[in-house]
Chain A
């Protein structure tokens, strides 16, 4: 089949022709695009077959490929890179935008965050036909959606506040209090939310009878916010909200993220984080019962060669949970120095597989001591049974480290 890139070259109108007669949802923002898009897709599939770039290929050519590969579907769930939003939206003419969050992502590649907000704003303002489902807690998202004709504001909460200190409209200083925010000169403040995600609940501000449990298959507060925005997007296209929430709750893994692999007698739970905000979220997704943690960091072009963001992630609480953390990846030395200054005891590995194999089995029987009597009896009481499938290990990786690790694990599982 002809690829999206080629099709785009042959006719610049290809995308518009492919998208005509479809109802499309465009998902954009720094973090959570793929997960949210998978959720939108799961929800819309309750209505009819859906075209979607499930592989995460979110540039124009990836969107074209997704639509080409599903010519008969009348619905589309499409994640779109922030900087491609204007050109994709101009042709797709979406029914719904889902705007998640904006934070610094690979600064040395894509430029300043203010520029991303301007692009997103332009896409929204050029598509008055679209309904916008926007995270009102994020000042940059709120700014981008400020003039939207139809907007549903969702308060999702966020662990990351560091990239929206000056407001893009006027450059004033943004003050934040929990979820709320306002500009010091009084010019702008957070739009009133229509919906609020609090812990495991999504509820309507306007109608107290509308309250829904968000019991997801995947971890993290950020994903509950993503789930809410996805279900609300599907509602715009006609799916009742309760059915949408059921559908998005069933999403278990997204292109290998959150998936558990059996490797060398360990159950390795794979988490991806691509930028400081994503790392902060990912740290909240770690299972505190699991004491084996591997962090893998690369510095390829796709990751950004500037690793100084590692110092923006708050690793300082990790020593309380992990007596030691294993590091690997081509920039493991940067990570090791960072973690060391956060008080973490670090063990360095050249290869991810070596790091997995080095994760300790459940604690060995304690050495007998004169005053506790039989060490054998106490070890039986203390040593937890080996979990079926192996020792659980959490593995957190940035973009190319995740990609390479996932490929390696899949190859090992095929053998």
Chain B
């Protein structure tokens, strides 16, 4: 990072269906509050994704959008190399899927992914919608993660990919239709990529994860404490609601 933290929002016009562009706003706000200058760059479909930014975010989107974004990634080789080399990237839902080895789209076609994550995704046949709460497995995170999931894909992790969290309430990377949910996980961590099925946007509800990404991008070990009102209340409300409305059979 030079004098300012530069945040790239990739394809907000197609990957901004669920408020995920808000993740960049949260990062910028929390960095600025610590005296770190920031700049948000919107990277559109018709431009090559620059490789020089410090941190990237990608949101969720619908099927057509997913195909457009997947092609955009393939056509940006320098960006691809930067991420492969470990630059931090936050990827949500549809973006998680297109970063993998392959995914199967709504027309039942297997589509090659960016192959930055050792994962594959297949349709479940029925969408998984609702509050999602996980216990983080990424070292450095201690607070429960909360978000809202809405997806139809079941993601399977290969040996190189580690899950982001263990599911407490919700589906996460997926539960096969008709199958009794057992131990299950959400998200993927590999290289500098953190991927999750959580919308909300995820960083609006999980300030610790936002600060983790800022540290990754800036090289700081820790950041000064930042207490913003209402966030704790929001987290408590959502985690409580997830526990109440749990649609997946609860593990005993």
Which residues does A use to contact B, with CB under 8 Å? 104, 107-108, 112-114, 162-163, 165-166, 171, 173, 175, 184, 305-312, 333-334, 336-338, 340-342, 346, 348
Contacts and interface: CB of A to CB of B under 8 A. Distances in A.
Contact of A334 (B46, B129, B229, B234): B234
Given A333-B233, A337-B204, A312 B64 contact: no
Given A166-B14, A333-B233, A340-B230, A308 B64 contact: no
Interface in B200-237: 200-201, 204-205, 228-231, 233-234, 237
B97 interface: no
A306 B132 CA distance: 11
B99 interface: no
A311 B230 contact: no
Contacts of A342: 25
Which one of A112, A308, A310 has the greatest number of beta carbons of chain B within 10 Å?
A308
Contact of A165 (B14, B22, B229): B14
B62 interface: yes
Interface in B51-81: 62-65, 67-68
A266 B131 CA distance: 38
Interface in B101-148: 129-131, 148
B18 A341 contact: no
B67 A306 contact: no
A251 to B, nearest CB: 33
Given A165-B65, A165-B68, A312-B19, 5 more contacts: A107-B18, A306-B129, A308-B199, A311-B201, A337-B204
Interface of B: 13-14, 16-22, 25-26, 29, 45-46, 62-65, 67-68, 129-131, 148, 150, 199-201, 204-205, 228-231, 233-234, 237
Contacts of B63: 112, 114
A306 B230 contact: no
Contacts of A104: 17
B225 to A, nearest CB: 17
20 contacts: A112-B62, A162-B13, A162-B16, A165-B14, A165-B45, A171-B68, A173-B45, A305-B131, A306-B18, A311-B20, A311-B25, A311-B201, A312-B19, A333-B234, A337-B228, A337-B230, A337-B231, A341-B26, A346-B229, A346-B230
Contacts of A107: 17-18, 150
B55 to A, nearest CB: 17
A108 B13 CA distance: 20
A108 B228 CA distance: 29
B65 A312 contact: no
A337 B64 CA distance: 31
Given A104-B17, A166-B68, A341 B25 contact: yes
A341 B22 contact: yes
Contacts of B21: 311-312
Contacts of B64: 114, 166, 171
B129 A309 contact: no
A341 B29 contact: yes
A308 B20 contact: yes
